[in-house]
Structure 1
Amino acid sequence: MRKGLLETVINGLNTRTSHAQVVNELGLAIIAGEYPVGATLPGDAELAARFKVSRTVLREAMKTLAAKGLVVPRARIGTRVTPNTQWNLFDSDILTWYFAVGIDESFLLHLSEVRLAFEPHAAALAARHATEADISQMMRLAVAMGDTSHTAESLALADLRFHLSVLDASRNPFLRTVGSLIEAALVGAFKLSSPAADLGKMGEVAATHIRIVEEIDRRDEEGARRAMENVIRVGRERVVQALREEE
């Protein structure tokens, strides 16, 4: 089973196949600007020799990069890097490469804006559709976030499990598919600032997530929406502050 973005950042990227190695190295190089927009990638013979792979493996890797929107093949011209407006930023590989290269405040703010666009609505839908089993599961996950034995890594994973459970409870399959954006935002929090370093903050984090579940349990759609907005905004402020201090 493929590792998620957060687990990949925590444990490191493990490219087990030659196809994955080619995709990963070229993807990273494109995101890093080693091959700028409009640039033509080296020819098949050069890349096949560089990666020590067959032409077949190389062609499949190029198809994968094209499917992600990073490149486009041109007859008699070669494979060109596309503008970043065409890149699929919902793709977990692309998000992984962005974090490997290094993200800035603007990137994190854009992520939070997208989260604010759909997660509060997901919480409102959960207040409408969640079953008692869903609510029990969400509450268990929210309470678990206050465990004082958490490391930064385990807290980030607990946070992710909670937010994905809300998407599941919304009963909207489209919302569940954008979970990679939540992962990306939590990767930013994990790498820059974690409440696990402060036991007091961990209690606050658990309490704000429990509030979301309480509003869902009350079937208060607006209350659930506001509670989710609060969690996202507080998390964004913590990460942006940490990023500015780091700079």
Structure 2
Amino acid sequence: MWPSPHQPRKRTSHRLVVEELGQAVVGGEFSVGDILPGDVELAARFNVSRTVLREAMKTLAAKGLIVARARIGTRVMPQANWNLFDGDVLSWHFRAGVDEAFLRHVSEVRLALEPYAAGLAARRATDADISQMMRLAVAMGDAGHSAQTLARADLEFHLRLLEASLNPFMQTVGSLIEAALMGVFQLSNTAADCAEIDRVAVAHIRIVEQIRLRNEEGARVAMEQVIRVGQQQLIANLRARG
């Protein structure tokens, strides 16, 4: 996963196995219904102990990617069983390559959640919350942004808004937002032009202004506009890549 405003996850042996096997499953190296290689072979492949390997397999099973059966082995599960709200699973999807339908599905979930969170923030956010969100929105207008640093600033704003909603369930969807905005960076050009930087900053400032006015409907509409425009740009970038 690309760098986020939060503390980066330590790359332990357990984490290495989870990422490599998870990416292999989502990327199609192992198909639905396939039986994964045995513990001895996988432990040798990743140069880890069988204890580390088994803990990694438990993590992947918890994400819905695999299931272990006695005397059968570890089988790859259908996508319907995968936890698509899991940040890792979404990140592996973007790395493997996504289509327009997938991008629309992600945007639809964001549209179902984030505008309402913005309305909650308009109702509940403290003055300190609003000041911080405004600082983050204004910082998006820094002309020195690259596509990556702009995406990171965008992510930090959205996560802070979810926190300002004061709804703990909203905060748990932060991994979905993080993976979606990671996809923005992966499908964007390496450079961010000044017009794009200004547009993103103004659009997010508009959200904060509506929150400061305690205008719940205005905050919801402003957030919905940000997500819809972002979706259109993602699809345009995807098409441009053929």
TM category (shorter chain) comes to over 0.9
2:206 matched to which residue of 1? 211
Q: Where do residues 59-74 of structure 1 align in structure 2 (5 Å cutoff)?
A: 59-74=54-69
1:101 matched to which residue of 2? 96
Query: RMSD across aligned C-alpha pairs, in angstroms?
Result: 1.8
Query: What displacement does 1:58 show?
Result: 1.6
Query: What displacement does 1:185 show?
Result: 1.7
3-state SS, counterpart of residue 2 of structure 2 = helix
1:143 maps to which of 138, 147, 172: 138
Q: Are residues 87 and 70 of structure 1, via their aligned partners in 2, closer, same or farther at CA, if it must alter by over 3 Å? A: same
Structure 2 letter corresponding to 1:166: L
1:129 matched to which residue of 2? 124
Query: What displacement does 1:197 show?
Result: 2.5
Q: What are the ranges of 5 or more consecutive residues in structure 1 without an aligned counterpart?
A: none
Query: What displacement does 1:242 show?
Result: 1.1
Work out the CA distance in 2 between the residues paired with 1:179 and 1:6. Answer: 14
Structure 1 letter corresponding to 2:127: E
Query: What displacement does 1:21 show?
Result: 2.1
- CA deviation profile, 1:37-91 (whole Å, cap 9, x unmatched): 1111111222222223222122111111111111111111111111111111122
Q: Where do residues 23-42 of structure 1 align in structure 2 (5 Å cutoff)?
A: 23-42=18-37
3-state SS, counterpart of residue 197 of structure 1 = coil
Work out the CA distance in 2 between the residues paired with 1:185 and 1:207. Answer: 20
3-state SS, counterpart of residue 3 of structure 2 = helix
Retained in 1: the 8 A contact 2:130–2:211?
Answer: yes
3-state SS, counterpart of residue 76 of structure 1 = coil
Q: What are the ranges of 5 or more consecutive residues in structure 2 without an aligned counterpart?
A: none
Q: Are residues 234 and 194 of structure 1, via their aligned partners in 2, closer, same or farther at CA, if it must alter by over 3 Å? A: farther
Work out the CA distance in 2 between the residues paired with 1:160 and 1:187. Answer: 9
1:91 maps to which of 86, 89, 101: 86
Structure 2 letter corresponding to 1:178: V
1:48 matched to which residue of 2? 43
1:238 matched to which residue of 2? 233
Q: Are residues 201 and 195 of structure 1, via their aligned partners in 2, closer, same or farther at CA, if it must alter by over 3 Å? A: farther
Structure 2 letter corresponding to 1:176: Q
Runs of 4+ in 1 over 6 A off after TM superposition: none
Q: Are residues 42 and 77 of structure 1, via their aligned partners in 2, closer, same or farther at CA, if it must alter by over 3 Å? A: same
1:81 matched to which residue of 2? 76
Give the fraction of aligned pairs with identical amino acids, expressed as a percent.
65
Q: Where do residues 102-181 of structure 1 align in structure 2 (5 Å cutoff)?
A: 102-181=97-176
With normalisation by structure 1, the TM-score equals: 0.91
Q: Where do residues 187-226 of structure 1 align in structure 2 (5 Å cutoff)?
A: 187-193=182-188, 197-226=192-221
Q: How many correspondences in the alignment?
A: 239
- CA deviation profile, 1:4-46 (whole Å, cap 9, x unmatched): x3317xxxx9873322222222111111112111111111222
Work out the CA distance in 2 between the residues paired with 1:168 and 1:116. Answer: 17
Structure 2 letter corresponding to 1:6: W
